[in-house]
Amino acid sequence: MPYRAAVPRSASTLDPFVRQALAAIDDAGRLRITREAQVLPCGRIRREGREFLDFSSNDYLGLSLHPLLAERACDWTQRYGTGSGASRLVTGTGEAVEALEARIAAFKGTEAALLFATGWQANASVIPALLQAMPGAAVCADRLVHASMHAGIAAAGARQHRFRHNDCDHLEQLLADKGRDAPARLILTESVFSMDGDGPDLIRLGEIARRHDAILYVDEAHATGVLGPGGAGLTATVPGTVDIVMGTFGKALGGFGAYVAGSRALCDYLLNRASGFVFSTALPPAALGAIDAALDLVPDMAEERAHLAGLAARLREGLHDLGIEHGESISQIVPVIVGGEADALALAERLEAAGMLAAAIRPPTVPPGSSRLRIALKAGQSLADVDALVQAIGANR
C-alpha cells in the first residue's frame, strides 16, 4: 500500500518534502513502521493481539523478563530516584555507580570502564574523542562495522580506509600503504557482526595491530553475555590484545545502556572528551540496577549459552540442507540471505502467517543484493522451534 500520511489542519512547510522522501522510500520497498508488541517468556512475543515465535529481538538470554533484574531496578529506583538529573560531570557520581563500573571492568578483564547511554552514543562520541587525541591518525575500519562507528569517524572529519569484511590481509595492506607515514593508526571492527553473525580472527588482528603499532577497537555489542568465558565476550579470549572494547546492556544482558572498557587513562580521557558522556544525562538508577543484576547472573549461565549455540548450529544445518545461504555465522545471529528486497519481504510475510517474526533486513542496512531475514535466536527457544522455522522457510520454495 503506498505511503499516505494524515494531513493535519495546519500542515508544516516541511511536510511536502518529507512526504515526497517517504514516498520514495516506499517505492524502493524500504518503508519501515513500528507495530505494537509485548515481549513474552521463552522467546515469544505478542504483537497486535497475536503470539509469535520471536526471531527478531536481541534479548538472547531472556534476561529482560528475569525477576532479579526487575527487583534490582525497583530497588535502585527506590534508593536513588527515577532519574540522574544531569550529566555526571554536573551532578557527580555516586559510590554505587563507581562500584558498578568497577564490576564491568572486572567482567571484561580491563583496568577500568565507563558507562554510556547506548552503544550508538558510545561509538559515535568515543571515536571522535580518540581521533582528537591522535590528529592525523590513519583509520582502518571493516567495511561492515556498525553505522555508529561510521558516524563517529565522520564526526571527527577523518578519512577512513575500509578493508574487506574480516579480511586481515587487506587490512595489513592498508596499514602498510596508508598508515605507514601516519602518526598513529586505529583499527575498528566488531567481534560479532549484527547482520551476519560472523566475526574476525581476533588473534591475528592483535598481531597485526602490534606489528603496525596500531590501536585496536572492538565493538562487542552482540557478543557480550553470549560468547567468551563467563559470557564476557570474545575479547576476553585474547586478554591484553584489544585496546578499547565497547559493548551494550540492551541485548543479551536484558536492560539498557552501554560501556567502554580499557585502561584507566583511556576512561579518564573519555570522561573529559567524549561528548556523549560529557553532554548527556547519565543513566537512570533503574537501568543501573538492572545492569548490576545481570552481572550477577550472566557468568553462571553456561548452560543457556551452550543451548543457544546448539540452536544456532541446528539452524545453520537446516538452512544448508535447504540450499539457502547463511554466510559465515559463528553466533546466535544467523542470516537467511535471499538477495532481493521483495523476496526478503515476501519470506518475512510467509513466516508471520506461520506465527514467526523474523525481520526483513534491506539496504541501506545491508549491501544491495543481500537482503535477508536476520534470525536472532533466544536461549528460551527449543530445537523444535528451530525445526519449525526451517520447515516454514523451506515451504513453497
Angle formed by the axes of helices 302-322 and 383-394, to 10°? Answer: 20
Amino acid identity of 116? F
Under DSSP, is residue 226 helix (H, G, I), strand (E, B) or coil? coil
Q: Cα 41 to the chain's mean position, in Å?
A: 22
Q: How many other β-carbons are positioned within 10 Å of the β-carbon of residue 250?
A: 20
The CA–CA distances, whole Å, from 30 to 4, 93, 144, 150, 195 equal 15, 43, 20, 21, 17
Would residue 194 show up in a list of annotated catalytic residues for this protein?
A: yes
Residues 301 and 322: their CA atoms lie apart, in Å, by: 32
Residue 236 contacts by C-beta under 8 Å, 6 or more apart in sequence? 108, 109, 228, 229, 230
**DSSP letter for each residue of 56-76:** S---TT-GGG-HHHHHHHHHH
Would residue 27 show up in a list of annotated catalytic residues for this protein?
A: no
Would residue 146 show up in a list of annotated catalytic residues for this protein?
A: yes
Among 142, 190, 243, 292, the active-site one is 190
Among 84, 148, 166, 194, the active-site one is 194
Among 146, 150, 161, 326, the active-site one is 146
**DSSP letter for each residue of 270-308:** HHHH-HHHHTSPPPPHHHHHHHHHHHHHGGG-HHHHHHH
Residues 295 and 108: their CA atoms lie apart, in Å, by: 11
Greatest pairwise CA separation for the chain in angstroms: 64
Among 56, 58, 64, 329, the active-site one is 58
Among 108, 150, 161, 251, the active-site one is 251
Would residue 222 show up in a list of annotated catalytic residues for this protein?
A: yes
Would residue 212 show up in a list of annotated catalytic residues for this protein?
A: no
Would residue 59 show up in a list of annotated catalytic residues for this protein?
A: no
**What end-to-end distance do the CA atoms of the chain give, in Å?**
25
Among 108, 222, 307, 378, the active-site one is 222
Among 219, 220, 304, 385, the active-site one is 219
Residues 239 and 203: their CA atoms lie apart, in Å, by: 10
Would residue 178 show up in a list of annotated catalytic residues for this protein?
A: no
Q: Confirm if 372 and 266 have CB atoms less than 8 A apart.
A: no
Under DSSP, is residue 127 helix (H, G, I), strand (E, B) or coil? helix
Active site residues: 58, 146, 190, 194, 219, 222, 251
